[in-house]
Amino acid sequence: MLNISLQKTWKEFGLDVSFEIPRGKVTALFGPSGAGKSSILRIISGLETADGGIILHGREVWFDDKQKIHLPPQRRSIGFVFQDFALFPHLTVERNVAYGIKEKRRLNELKDLISLVGLSGYERYYPAQLSGGQKQRVALIRALARKPDLLLLDEPLSALDWETRRQLQEDLKKIIKQFHVTTLYVTHDVTEVYKLADYVVVLESGRVVKQGTPEEVFLGKKLSTRIQIVGKVVSIESDPIMAVVTVLHDDQYFKTLIDTEEVGRLNLKIGNDVVIGAKSSDVILFKVLTQS
Amino acid sequence: MANRLCGKIVNVAQGQIHAHVQILWKEIPLSVIITRASCEDMHLSVGDTISVLVKGTDIMLAKSFSGMLSARNRAMGIVRQIIQGDVLSKVFVESQGDMLHAFITNTSLKEMDIREGDEVTAIVKSTELILSKEA
């Protein structure tokens, strides 16, 4: 468990937050640009110092302004993945990943690590020869190679195209689970929160405004429908009366039929995150044919 | 989901699986069946202000209605506008000062000879209504 309480004031912006990051779980730090998400990551990693507060990693104090403790970044067991990959351009994939491994005896794990992110055969490639998705896989495995206690991901998928992002979300989920590493994931994408996070901390203008499971935070308990599915609008086809809105959730496409006027009222656009609500009495169940 | 009627809860009766929530929408009582789990999650209680959501495709229209019908929710109103599509028509009905809309087939519209100014009854089954508690 990581306990975080931070205050920092810049010229035109103030940060004052308190939250916990549960051990072995993925916590999403969610909010619009300028909410202070990346600043929090930089302070946790030790790249930046807060004016006040405390960062406790179990019993280890990483930062405490009162005790004047500020552990340098290299003494905090952290893996950091940035939006812009931050790979060493002059090093091959293999050497980029090896950079994260401190103990020489663990270098034989390199092959397995690289294969884990589906990059076997690319060991001798340089970052410039890789696609955006491949670069981010290298960055991720380099961060995990040192077996950190905490993995910080700063919008790691936002520089990628939509399809690559979708694939990488799946891979990320699998890999984080495999390493069972406590993760703090910065994003402004609701679907990503749903796909990857166990908990979400919502940030606005440097303050925590909500926290809980994604369901608690985004859906609340406001609607009586038992079926509530969060997804992304991928297409809208309208006639003057009705519109077919296709929503993608976990690789499944849901075609919903709504009033065309509603599309305008909600200002619904492709890429928007939406909740599909349906009464549980409105579904039909079929048993799949292969079962007895 | 464009029909949103604002009312007050006047009774909540919980069964083992379902809950029957009765709502007063201005002068008209509405009957809504939701799951007991939803009722508990939403902490619904008598006196709460609540929105009742009903899809236009779930509303049926009756004209010169008489006889018995099992659907609990009925609201008399006046047809104010009709937009005809290729298969469906959207019929706007004013009831108690609120505007409802129902999607019905063009065949029904023609057979029932529904026109602007007609008096109709909008009818919905209790199991089709959704409750939304606004923040």
Question: Cβ contact (<8 Å) for B42 and A224?
Answer: yes
Read off the pLDDT band of A195 (50, 70, 90).
Answer: confident
Does the pLDDT at position B135 exceed 70?
Answer: no
Does the pLDDT at position A221 exceed 80?
Answer: no
Nearest to B42 among A221, A259, A277 (CB): A221
Nearest-neighbour CA in chain A from B33: distance (Å):
10
Q: In sequence order, which residues have a C-beta less than 8 Å from that of residue A177 and are 6 or more positions away?
A: none
End-to-end alpha carbon distance in chain B: 18
More confidently predicted of A215 and B62? B62
Question: Cβ contact (<8 Å) for B133 and A240?
Answer: no
pLDDT for the residue numbered A292: 65
Angstrom distance (rounded) from CA A269 to CA A236: 8
Lowest-confidence range among A75-79, A102-106, B29-33? A102-106
Q: Given CB atoms, is A222 within the 8 Å cutoff of chain B?
A: yes
pLDDT in tens, A8-41: 998 889 999 999 999 999 999 999 888 999 999 9
In total, how many domains does chain B have? 1
The answer to whether ipTM exceeds 0.90 is no
| Cα–Cα distance list, A80 to A22, A77, A149, A261, B75 (Å) | 18, 10, 11, 45, 60
CATH number of A2-218: 3.40.50.300
Domain at B52, CATH number:
2.40.50.100
A192 in helix, strand or coil? helix
The CATH 3.40.50.300 domain(s) of chain A lie at: 2-218
Containing structural domain, residue B21: 3-132
Question: Which of A100-109, B1-10, B116-125 has the highest average model confidence (pLDDT)?
Answer: B116-125
The mean pLDDT value of chain A amounts to: 89
Q: In sequence order, which residues have a C-beta less than 8 Å from that of residue A68 and are 6 or more positions away?
A: none
Nearest-neighbour CA in chain B from A222: distance (Å):
5
Q: Given CB atoms, is A259 within the 8 Å cutoff of chain B?
A: yes
pLDDT in tens, A132-152: 889 989 999 999 988 899 999
pLDDT for the residue numbered A86: 84
The CATH fold assigned to A223-279 is OB fold (Dihydrolipoamide Acetyltransferase, E2P) (2.40.50)
Question: Cβ contact (<8 Å) for B90 and A224?
Answer: no
Chains A and B form CB pairs within 8 A to the count of 63
